[in-house]
């Protein structure tokens, strides 16, 4: 008797960080969803074997581990390839599912199985009219509604019938998931599922790449190419760029002014920001970032004074 195809593949690309991956897997199995309805795919391009040996604590036949030689973020595509589900959904290796999320995802896939639109899982990151589902008639509408959140790889997934096209892609090494959205089909109806489904683990240690160059240069260069090809309009591009600027201001505050324990490379920030926002835009970012930093410190001081009053 042949094995029944799972409805959903939860595809987790990782660099072997077991301190993140193990709690994520635990959060999936505590959902108490029938193991026959889903599978977990681990694609590990890390250098150690600790994660693989640790998986033996999970006694489930729908958990699959694969060692990957794909570098960096391109491991995302390998994780999708290894899935066998009706739909293969990317899961960040720090993303613990909240109660009920897995069943909601399965229900969503079954609901749209006949029409099979491109689906993006935005995790309540965008503003809607109170609806969890935003229907888009084109890639351009999808990009407009998601704005800079389209840079977030964990929101993407792929129907099984589209996976045979993966080997024909030429994805960017830092944003391979964008090819999964725009390059699998010439055009498509799309939906955004804006329901909240995850709780992110502490990201101390995250990094290893030049974050300002990645978002303010490489990401916008990719989108510029889609404007040229007609998949994204200039209006949508302008909205994404504007929303992204606010993110970059916050990033400068959190990574430069008030540094965290993350390990992003922070060189040539002025050059990176000036590429698409001009030198004026760079100094505008500094003003916003420092102003918000002062506001944040002032708010904390007021709170402390209130406590000891």
d(CA 303, CA 309): 10
Averaged pLDDT for residues 78-98: 96
Averaged pLDDT for residues 232-253: 97
Q: Tell me the pLDDT tens digit for each residue of 200-242.
A: 988 777 788 999 999 999 999 999 999 999 999 999 999 999 9
Report CA Rg, the chain: 20
Interhelix angle 234-252/220-229, nearest 10 degrees: 180
Q: Where are the beta strands (DSSP E) in 126-278?
A: 133-136, 157-159, 190-193, 198-200, 207-210, 263-265
Q: Is the pLDDT of residue 1 over 50?
A: no
Percent of the chain with pLDDT over 70: 94
- The number of beta carbons lying within 10 Å of the beta carbon of residue 60 is 13
At 292 the pLDDT is 85
> Environment class of residue 44 by beta-carbon count within 10 Å: exposed (0-12), middle (13-18) or buried (19+)?
buried
Q: Is the pLDDT of residue 300 over 60?
A: no
Nearest by Cα to 104 from 39, 201, 216, 196: 196
At 306 the pLDDT is 53
Q: Is the pLDDT of residue 164 over 80?
A: yes
Q: Is the pLDDT of residue 2 over 90?
A: no
Place of tokens 């201001």: 249
d(CA 42, CA 63): 8
d(CA 10, CA 35): 12
At 71 the pLDDT is 85
Global pTM value: 0.91
pLDDT: which is higher, 119 or 291: 119
Q: Is the pLDDT of residue 42 over 90?
A: yes
Averaged pLDDT for residues 151-157: 95
Sheet harboring 118-121: ordered strands across?
118-121, 190-193, 133-136
Averaged pLDDT for residues 179-190: 95
Q: Tell me the pLDDT tens digit for each residue of 115-132.
A: 999 999 999 999 988 889
pLDDT: which is higher, 15 or 234: 234
Q: What phi and psi values does residue 181 have, to the nearest 5 degrees?
A: -80, -50
- The number of beta carbons lying within 10 Å of the beta carbon of residue 297 is 12
CATH architecture of residue range(s) 8-200: Alpha-Beta Complex (3.90)
At 297 the pLDDT is 59
Q: Tell me the pLDDT tens digit for each residue of 255-290.
A: 998 878 888 999 999 999 999 999 999 999 999 999
Q: Is the pLDDT of residue 304 over 60?
A: no
Kindly list the domain boundaries of the chain, sorted by start residue: 8-200, 207-307
């Amino acid at each position: 008797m042949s094995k029944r195809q799972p409805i959903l593949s939860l595809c987790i690309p990782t660099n072997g960080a077991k301190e993140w991956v193990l709690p994520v897997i635990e959060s999936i199995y505590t959902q108490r969803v029938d193991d026959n309805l889903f599978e977990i795919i681990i694609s590990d391009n890390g250098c150690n074997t600790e994660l693989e040996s640790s998986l033996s604590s999970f006694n489930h036949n729908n958990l699959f581990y694969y060692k990957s030689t794909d570098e960096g973020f391109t491991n995302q595509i390998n994780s999708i390839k290894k899935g066998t589900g009706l739909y293969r959904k990317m899961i960040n290796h720090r993303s613990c599912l909240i109660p009920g999320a897995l069943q909601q995802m399965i229900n969503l896939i079954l609901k749209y199985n006949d029409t099979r639109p491109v689906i993006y899982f935005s995790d309540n990151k965008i503003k809607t009219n109170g609806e969890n589902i935003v229907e888009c008639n084109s890639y351009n509408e999808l990009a407009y509604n998601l704005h800079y959140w389209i840079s977030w790889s964990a929101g993407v997934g792929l129907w099984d019938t589209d996976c045979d096209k993966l080997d024909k892609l030429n994805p960017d090494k830092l944003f391979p998931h964008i090819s999964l959205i725009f390059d699998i089909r010439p055009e498509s109806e799309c939906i955004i599922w804006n329901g909240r489904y995850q709780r992110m683990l502490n990201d101390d240690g995250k990094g290893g790449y030049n974050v300002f160059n990645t978002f303010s240069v490489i990401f916008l260069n990719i989108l510029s190419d889609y404007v040229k090809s007609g998949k994204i309009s200039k209006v949508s591009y302008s909205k994404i760029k504007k929303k992204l600027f606010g993110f970059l201001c916050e990033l400068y505050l959190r990574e430069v002014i008030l540094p965290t324990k993350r390990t992003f490379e922070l060189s040539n920030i002025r050059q990176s920001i000036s590429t698409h926002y001009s030198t004026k835009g760079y100094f505008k970012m500094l003003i916003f970032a420092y102003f918000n930093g002062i506001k944040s410190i002032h708010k904390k001081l007021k709170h402390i004074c209130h406590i000891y009053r």
